[in-house]
Amino acid sequence: MSEELLQIRHLKKQFGETVVLKDLNLTVHRGEVLVIVGPSGCGKSTLLRCINALEPIQGGEVLLQGQQIAQNSKNLTALRQKIGMVFQSYDLFPHLTVLDNILLAPVKVQKRNREEVKKEAIELLERVGLKDKADRYPRQLSGGQKQRVAIVRALCMHPEILLFDEVTAALDPEMVREVLDVMLNLAAQGRTMLIVTHEMQFARAVADRVLFLEDGEILEDSPPDVFFEHPQTERAQQFLNVFTFKNVNKK
Protein backbone atom coordinates (compact mmCIF):
# COMPACT_ATOMS: atom_id res chain seq x y z
CA MET A 1 0.00 0.00 0.00
CA SER A 2 1.32 3.45 -0.92
CA GLU A 3 1.92 6.30 1.54
CA GLU A 4 -1.03 7.74 3.44
CA LEU A 5 -0.99 11.25 2.01
CA LEU A 6 -4.17 12.77 3.44
CA GLN A 7 -5.96 11.87 6.66
CA ILE A 8 -9.30 13.28 7.80
CA ARG A 9 -10.33 12.36 11.31
CA HIS A 10 -13.74 13.02 12.88
CA LEU A 11 -14.25 16.13 10.76
CA LYS A 12 -17.21 18.29 11.71
CA LYS A 13 -18.31 21.37 9.83
CA GLN A 14 -21.38 23.48 10.48
CA PHE A 15 -22.82 26.79 9.38
CA GLY A 16 -24.66 28.23 12.34
CA GLU A 17 -26.96 25.48 13.59
CA THR A 18 -26.74 23.51 10.35
CA VAL A 19 -24.27 20.61 10.49
CA VAL A 20 -22.83 20.04 7.01
CA LEU A 21 -20.18 17.38 7.74
CA LYS A 22 -20.76 14.89 10.55
CA ASP A 23 -17.82 13.03 12.12
CA LEU A 24 -16.31 12.35 8.70
CA ASN A 25 -13.27 10.03 8.45
CA LEU A 26 -11.21 9.45 5.32
CA THR A 27 -7.70 8.34 4.29
CA VAL A 28 -6.25 9.02 0.84
CA HIS A 29 -3.10 7.24 -0.36
CA ARG A 30 -0.54 8.68 -2.74
CA GLY A 31 -1.58 8.16 -6.36
CA GLU A 32 -5.25 7.49 -5.55
CA VAL A 33 -8.10 9.14 -7.41
CA LEU A 34 -11.19 9.59 -5.26
CA VAL A 35 -14.40 10.79 -6.86
CA ILE A 36 -16.97 12.30 -4.51
CA VAL A 37 -20.60 12.12 -5.60
CA GLY A 38 -23.93 12.79 -3.98
CA PRO A 39 -26.98 15.06 -4.14
CA SER A 40 -26.66 18.83 -4.08
CA GLY A 41 -26.12 20.15 -0.57
CA CYS A 42 -24.65 16.95 0.84
CA GLY A 43 -21.30 18.57 1.71
CA LYS A 44 -19.09 17.60 -1.25
CA SER A 45 -17.68 21.04 -2.05
CA THR A 46 -17.51 21.97 1.63
CA LEU A 47 -15.32 18.92 2.24
CA LEU A 48 -12.82 20.10 -0.38
CA ARG A 49 -12.79 23.60 1.10
CA CYS A 50 -12.14 22.20 4.59
CA ILE A 51 -9.19 20.16 3.28
CA ASN A 52 -7.62 23.38 2.02
CA ALA A 53 -8.59 25.33 5.18
CA LEU A 54 -10.74 27.66 3.12
CA GLU A 55 -13.47 26.94 5.68
CA PRO A 56 -12.94 26.78 9.47
CA ILE A 57 -13.95 23.46 11.00
CA GLN A 58 -15.76 22.88 14.28
CA GLY A 59 -14.23 19.51 15.14
CA GLY A 60 -11.71 16.89 14.11
CA GLU A 61 -8.57 17.43 12.04
CA VAL A 62 -7.17 17.33 8.52
CA LEU A 63 -3.59 16.07 8.10
CA LEU A 64 -1.40 16.26 5.00
CA GLN A 65 1.66 14.04 5.31
CA GLY A 66 1.11 14.11 9.06
CA GLN A 67 0.92 17.90 9.34
CA GLN A 68 -2.31 19.50 10.49
CA ILE A 69 -4.05 21.86 8.11
CA ALA A 70 -6.07 24.51 9.92
CA GLN A 71 -6.71 28.22 9.57
CA ASN A 72 -4.55 28.89 12.64
CA SER A 73 -1.64 26.67 11.51
CA LYS A 74 1.65 28.58 11.50
CA ASN A 75 2.73 26.78 8.32
CA LEU A 76 -0.61 27.07 6.53
CA THR A 77 0.83 28.95 3.54
CA ALA A 78 3.44 26.24 2.99
CA LEU A 79 0.88 23.46 3.37
CA ARG A 80 -1.54 25.10 0.94
CA GLN A 81 1.20 25.11 -1.68
CA LYS A 82 1.04 21.30 -1.55
CA ILE A 83 -2.69 21.35 -2.35
CA GLY A 84 -3.76 22.41 -5.81
CA MET A 85 -7.42 23.42 -6.06
CA VAL A 86 -9.33 24.00 -9.26
CA PHE A 87 -12.65 25.79 -8.87
CA GLN A 88 -15.79 25.76 -10.98
CA SER A 89 -15.39 29.51 -11.59
CA TYR A 90 -11.75 29.36 -12.93
CA ASP A 91 -10.66 32.35 -10.77
CA LEU A 92 -8.21 33.66 -13.36
CA PHE A 93 -7.07 37.29 -13.10
CA PRO A 94 -8.72 39.09 -16.04
CA HIS A 95 -5.95 41.70 -16.37
CA LEU A 96 -3.17 39.09 -16.73
CA THR A 97 -2.35 36.95 -19.74
CA VAL A 98 -2.67 33.17 -19.55
CA LEU A 99 1.07 32.83 -18.98
CA ASP A 100 1.20 35.53 -16.31
CA ASN A 101 -1.73 33.93 -14.48
CA ILE A 102 0.24 30.69 -14.33
CA LEU A 103 3.57 32.29 -13.33
CA LEU A 104 2.21 34.51 -10.56
CA ALA A 105 2.14 32.09 -7.60
CA PRO A 106 5.28 30.02 -8.38
CA VAL A 107 7.36 33.18 -8.83
CA LYS A 108 5.84 35.43 -6.14
CA VAL A 109 4.96 32.85 -3.47
CA GLN A 110 7.46 30.05 -4.04
CA LYS A 111 10.23 32.44 -5.16
CA ARG A 112 11.18 30.18 -8.06
CA ASN A 113 13.17 31.30 -11.08
CA ARG A 114 10.84 32.97 -13.56
CA GLU A 115 12.47 31.52 -16.67
CA GLU A 116 12.39 27.97 -15.28
CA VAL A 117 8.72 28.30 -14.36
CA LYS A 118 7.95 29.85 -17.75
CA LYS A 119 9.53 26.88 -19.52
CA GLU A 120 7.49 24.46 -17.42
CA ALA A 121 4.30 26.46 -17.98
CA ILE A 122 4.74 26.45 -21.76
CA GLU A 123 5.34 22.68 -21.71
CA LEU A 124 2.18 22.13 -19.66
CA LEU A 125 0.14 24.44 -21.89
CA GLU A 126 1.32 22.43 -24.87
CA ARG A 127 0.20 19.20 -23.19
CA VAL A 128 -3.34 20.57 -22.78
CA GLY A 129 -3.43 22.05 -26.27
CA LEU A 130 -3.12 25.71 -25.29
CA LYS A 131 0.47 26.67 -26.09
CA ASP A 132 -0.78 29.14 -28.71
CA LYS A 133 -2.96 30.87 -26.07
CA ALA A 134 -0.10 31.82 -23.71
CA ASP A 135 -0.33 35.54 -24.54
CA ARG A 136 -4.13 35.72 -24.62
CA TYR A 137 -6.29 37.16 -21.86
CA PRO A 138 -9.00 35.13 -20.09
CA ARG A 139 -11.77 37.06 -21.88
CA GLN A 140 -10.41 35.71 -25.19
CA LEU A 141 -10.80 32.06 -24.11
CA SER A 142 -13.71 29.66 -24.01
CA GLY A 143 -14.87 28.20 -20.71
CA GLY A 144 -13.12 24.91 -21.40
CA GLN A 145 -9.89 26.70 -22.24
CA LYS A 146 -10.06 28.76 -19.05
CA GLN A 147 -10.54 25.60 -17.01
CA ARG A 148 -7.53 23.94 -18.64
CA VAL A 149 -5.46 27.05 -17.82
CA ALA A 150 -6.64 26.80 -14.20
CA ILE A 151 -5.46 23.18 -14.10
CA VAL A 152 -2.05 24.14 -15.51
CA ARG A 153 -1.80 26.92 -12.94
CA ALA A 154 -2.39 24.40 -10.15
CA LEU A 155 0.13 21.93 -11.60
CA CYS A 156 2.86 24.57 -11.78
CA MET A 157 2.83 24.78 -7.98
CA HIS A 158 3.95 21.11 -7.83
CA PRO A 159 1.15 20.06 -5.46
CA GLU A 160 1.05 16.76 -3.61
CA ILE A 161 -2.71 16.52 -4.13
CA LEU A 162 -5.21 18.09 -6.53
CA LEU A 163 -8.78 19.04 -5.60
CA PHE A 164 -11.36 19.56 -8.36
CA ASP A 165 -14.66 21.16 -7.37
CA GLU A 166 -17.26 20.47 -10.08
CA VAL A 167 -14.94 21.95 -12.68
CA THR A 168 -17.24 21.13 -15.62
CA ALA A 169 -20.50 22.36 -14.04
CA ALA A 170 -20.35 25.81 -15.69
CA LEU A 171 -19.26 24.56 -19.11
CA ASP A 172 -21.25 24.02 -22.27
CA PRO A 173 -21.56 20.29 -23.06
CA GLU A 174 -19.11 20.44 -25.97
CA MET A 175 -16.44 21.93 -23.68
CA VAL A 176 -16.78 19.31 -20.95
CA ARG A 177 -14.90 16.60 -22.83
CA GLU A 178 -11.73 18.62 -23.30
CA VAL A 179 -11.43 19.26 -19.55
CA LEU A 180 -12.26 15.67 -18.57
CA ASP A 181 -9.61 14.39 -20.99
CA VAL A 182 -6.96 16.47 -19.21
CA MET A 183 -8.07 15.04 -15.86
CA LEU A 184 -7.99 11.48 -17.20
CA ASN A 185 -4.41 12.09 -18.34
CA LEU A 186 -3.48 13.35 -14.88
CA ALA A 187 -4.93 10.20 -13.34
CA ALA A 188 -2.89 8.09 -15.76
CA GLN A 189 0.24 9.94 -14.57
CA GLY A 190 -0.43 8.78 -11.00
CA ARG A 191 -1.58 12.13 -9.60
CA THR A 192 -3.40 12.09 -6.28
CA MET A 193 -6.80 13.68 -6.84
CA LEU A 194 -10.11 14.30 -5.10
CA ILE A 195 -12.80 15.12 -7.63
CA VAL A 196 -16.32 16.37 -6.97
CA THR A 197 -18.39 15.78 -10.09
CA HIS A 198 -21.84 15.04 -11.47
CA GLU A 199 -20.35 13.35 -14.56
CA MET A 200 -21.08 9.73 -13.71
CA GLN A 201 -19.45 8.13 -16.75
CA PHE A 202 -16.30 10.12 -16.09
CA ALA A 203 -16.41 9.16 -12.40
CA ARG A 204 -16.52 5.49 -13.29
CA ALA A 205 -13.64 5.84 -15.76
CA VAL A 206 -11.26 7.85 -13.57
CA ALA A 207 -11.91 6.74 -9.98
CA ASP A 208 -9.99 4.28 -7.85
CA ARG A 209 -12.65 4.83 -5.20
CA VAL A 210 -16.07 6.46 -5.24
CA LEU A 211 -17.36 8.18 -2.13
CA PHE A 212 -21.10 8.70 -1.88
CA LEU A 213 -22.08 11.49 0.52
CA GLU A 214 -25.52 12.08 1.94
CA ASP A 215 -26.33 14.64 4.65
CA GLY A 216 -22.64 15.15 5.47
CA GLU A 217 -21.82 11.47 5.94
CA ILE A 218 -20.00 8.93 3.77
CA LEU A 219 -22.62 6.28 3.05
CA GLU A 220 -20.46 4.34 0.60
CA ASP A 221 -16.72 4.09 -0.12
CA SER A 222 -16.23 1.56 -2.91
CA PRO A 223 -14.34 0.78 -6.10
CA PRO A 224 -16.23 2.25 -9.07
CA ASP A 225 -17.45 -1.09 -10.44
CA VAL A 226 -18.92 -2.02 -7.08
CA PHE A 227 -20.55 1.37 -6.55
CA PHE A 228 -22.10 1.64 -10.00
CA GLU A 229 -23.16 -2.00 -10.37
CA HIS A 230 -23.90 -3.04 -6.79
CA PRO A 231 -24.46 -0.03 -4.53
CA GLN A 232 -24.72 -1.09 -0.91
CA THR A 233 -27.41 1.35 0.21
CA GLU A 234 -30.89 2.09 -1.04
CA ARG A 235 -30.10 5.82 -1.09
CA ALA A 236 -27.15 5.32 -3.46
CA GLN A 237 -29.33 3.18 -5.71
CA GLN A 238 -31.94 5.93 -5.85
CA PHE A 239 -29.25 8.47 -6.70
CA LEU A 240 -27.86 6.33 -9.52
CA ASN A 241 -31.33 5.60 -10.87
CA VAL A 242 -31.86 9.33 -11.44
CA PHE A 243 -28.75 9.51 -13.65
CA THR A 244 -29.73 6.34 -15.51
CA PHE A 245 -33.16 7.84 -16.21
CA LYS A 246 -31.56 11.07 -17.50
CA ASN A 247 -29.24 9.16 -19.84
CA VAL A 248 -32.11 7.07 -21.21
CA ASN A 249 -34.12 10.23 -21.96
CA LYS A 250 -31.18 11.74 -23.84
CA LYS A 251 -31.11 8.86 -26.31
pLDDT digits (tens, 9 = 90+) for 144-180: 999 999 999 999 999 999 999 999 988 888 889 889 9
Cα separation, 96 vs 131, whole angstroms: 16
Q: Are 219 and 228 in contact (CB under 8 A)?
A: no
pLDDT digits (tens, 9 = 90+) for 105-124: 999 999 999 999 999 999 99
CA-nearest of 146, 220, 215, 42 to 207 is 220
pLDDT digits (tens, 9 = 90+) for 199-249: 999 999 999 999 999 999 999 999 999 999 999 999 999 999 987 645 544
Cα separation, 222 vs 225, whole angstroms: 8
Compute the residue count for the chain.
251
Phi, psi for 189 (deg, rounded to 5): -80, -5
**Per-residue three-class SS string for 43-89:** CHHHHHHHHCCCCCCCEEEEEECCEECCCCCCCHHHHHCCEEEECCC
Report the Cα–Cα distance between both ends of the chain, in Å, rounded.
42
Q: Are 57 and 13 in contact (CB under 8 A)?
A: yes
Model confidence, pTM: 0.92
